[in-house]
Amino acid sequence: MLQIHKHLLVVLGLTMLMAGCAMNPSRDSGGSQYSDLYNGEMKVAHEAGQDKVTREEAIANGDRALADGDADRAMFEYVHALEISGGDASILNKIAAIHTSLGNLRLAARAYTLSLKLEPENPAALEGVGLLFLRDRRYDDARRHLSAALEKEPLRWQSLNGLGMLADLEGNYAQAAAYYRQALEIPPDAWQQPETAVLLNNLGYSLYLSGDWDGAQHNFHKALNYSPEFVRAWQNLGLVYTRKGDYDGALDAYRHVMDKPEAYNNIGFICMLNQEYDQAEYFFRKAIKLSPTYYVKAHENLDKLNRLRGKDG
């Protein structure tokens, strides 16, 4: 079911606890404190020949493994480099980024925290922790860390994007749009290359929330020009077409990412929220007709629609 009043890129409600041992490691500064940052299953296989590997070789091995898509090997090599060198913020940031991409958020938080312990103003670590706080709904902490990262490096698009999300959550859509536009102005060849489609989608959603549906539609189309398979942008485009009453456009957008019964159900659901009950019934019944046996959700929404009609009548 499409969620109308939440930012479609903000994944919230995670149960990660950003406190306790995960955020406050208690071990000493020796190399042993880094061993638990590797949580893979191939340690024995990776250990062959490691006794003579230098720190620089381990980092290079990790970079090659990461480029080849072998996150497990990369993580092992980076942790080995840490154990050789006794600590390095840049390596810890690489490990944290891998853990974040794999969904190992507690280990990502630990790695970023160890990085900040070594370099309290490291912008990559500040940004990483800020984004983890954003996922964990600790918005004040997220804003503080993301703002601090931008003070050190103003061209960090993920920090700008995170601050835009926070502004959206607070209903400050103009400020959110300003953050997204600032991120979009970062040159594409910058050292931290912005993800243009993501930013355009987020900008479009801020404009949608502010009531600028034409501006929203324009930016969703631009996002899809950059990334034609971008599911959230297609969903958002279907949403704005439905709100504008262009149901053919909405159906076409949704059909890129879902089957017809689900598309009709989503259009009906948005119409129901807008109190356009006749249109909602039409689309729910279309969904049921196309899939009478398995599309239970359309039946449930039709029942809800009938209750709403009785209440409003």
**AA letter at 36:** D
Do 184 and 165 form a contact (C-beta atoms < 8 A)?
A: no
* CA 11 – CA 22 distance, rounded (Å): 21
The C-alpha atoms of residue 213 and residue 241 are separated, in whole angstroms, by 9
Read off the pTM: 0.84
pLDDT, residue 191, reads: 77
What size, in residues, is the chain? 313
Question: pLDDT tier at 48 (50, 70, 90 boundaries)?
Answer: low
How far the first Cα of the chain sits from its last, in Å, is 26
Task: List Cα–Cα distances, 218 to 237, 240, 243, 246, in angstroms.
Answer: 9, 10, 15, 15
Q: Tell me: the pLDDT tens digits for 10-44?
A: 323 223 334 333 344 434 434 457 888 988 776 65
Distance of CA 234 to the CA centre of its chain: 16
**What is the tens place of the pLDDT at every residue in 286-313?**
999 998 776 788 889 999 999 998 866 4
Q: What confidence score (pLDDT) does residue 10 get?
A: 32
Tokens 């949704």 sit at which residue? 254
276 pLDDT more than 60:
yes
What integer is the mean pLDDT of 176-198? 92
Counting residues of the chain whose pLDDT is more than 70, the rounded percentage is 86
**Which residue matches tokens 């009785």?**
310
Q: Domains, the chain, ranges and CATH?
A: 13-153 (1.25.40.10), 154-231 (1.25.40.10)
pLDDT for the residue numbered 121: 97
Q: If you search the block for the tokens 């996002």, which residue do you land on?
A: 223
Sign (positive/negative) of CA torsion 169, 170, 172, 176?
A: negative
The two three-digit tokens of residue 231, written as one number: 């599911």
pLDDT, tens digit, 9 for 90 and up, residues 204-229: 999 999 999 999 999 999 999 999 99
pLDDT in tens, 75-111: 999 999 998 888 899 999 999 999 999 999 999 999 9
* Rounded distance between C-alpha atoms, residue 12 and residue 31, angstroms: 34
Cα distance between residue 181 and residue 15, in whole Å: 31
pLDDT of residue 85: 81
Burial tier of 19 (Cβ tally within 10 Å: 0-12, 13-18, 19+) = exposed
Tokens of 52: 């003579």
- What is the pLDDT of the chain when averaged over all its residues? 87
Which amino acid, 72? D
